[in-house]
Homo-oligomer: A and B are copies of this chain.
Amino acid sequence: MFFLKSGRLRMQRVTPDGGTVSLHIVRPGETCAEPSLFSSRYHCDMLAETDAEVWLFPKKELVDSLRGNPESLWDFAGGLARGLQGMRQRYELKQIRSAPERVLQLLRLRCDDSGAYRTSGSLKDMAAELGLTHEALYRAMAALERSRRIRRSADLLQILPTKPE
């Protein structure tokens, strides 16, 4: 198990046909590979996309520590639950076929109360997270802007309220 201090990691697996599947983007402050504590084998690749600072925890010590300290175990479980919820959100995202609708849904999930979302990283990263090619994302955003459903300025994306009929 590890904790990401700084940088950005991509958790991915290679499909049998040679394609890569991005499972998760790990950002600073996140812990990762929790399931490995409960099962003997865990199989996926971690890719550092930038220089990164990672804290590694030996499995045995961590398990002992958690089992001896119910309070931290509770926090740990909370992190797992949040991870599960986040994963469910991302899974839901992928069920949406239409590229523009998918982008819109991501914005709905990520934006603050005012409906604004500041992009972190490049649009290509965002495309990877959405499971779209970058071309499809550019087109989707252009279409959303044309139909006045979002507004863009620099790295700020804003959802526009849908006009009532």
Chain A residues with a Cβ under 8 A of chain B: 13, 15-17, 19, 21-24, 34-35, 37-39, 42, 44, 66-67, 70, 73-74, 76-78, 80-85, 87-88, 90-92, 94-96, 98, 101, 104-105, 108, 131
Contacts and interface: CB of A to CB of B under 8 A. Distances in A.
Given A21-B92, A91-B94, A95-B21, A15 B85 contact: no
A34 B96 contact: no
Given A76-B77, A81-B35, A84-B83, A90 B91 contact: yes
B81 A37 contact: yes
Given A66-B77, A67-B70, A91-B91, 9 more contacts: A13-B92, A23-B88, A34-B81, A35-B81, A35-B84, A39-B82, A73-B74, A80-B81, A87-B87
Contacts of A78: 38
A36 to B, nearest CB: 8
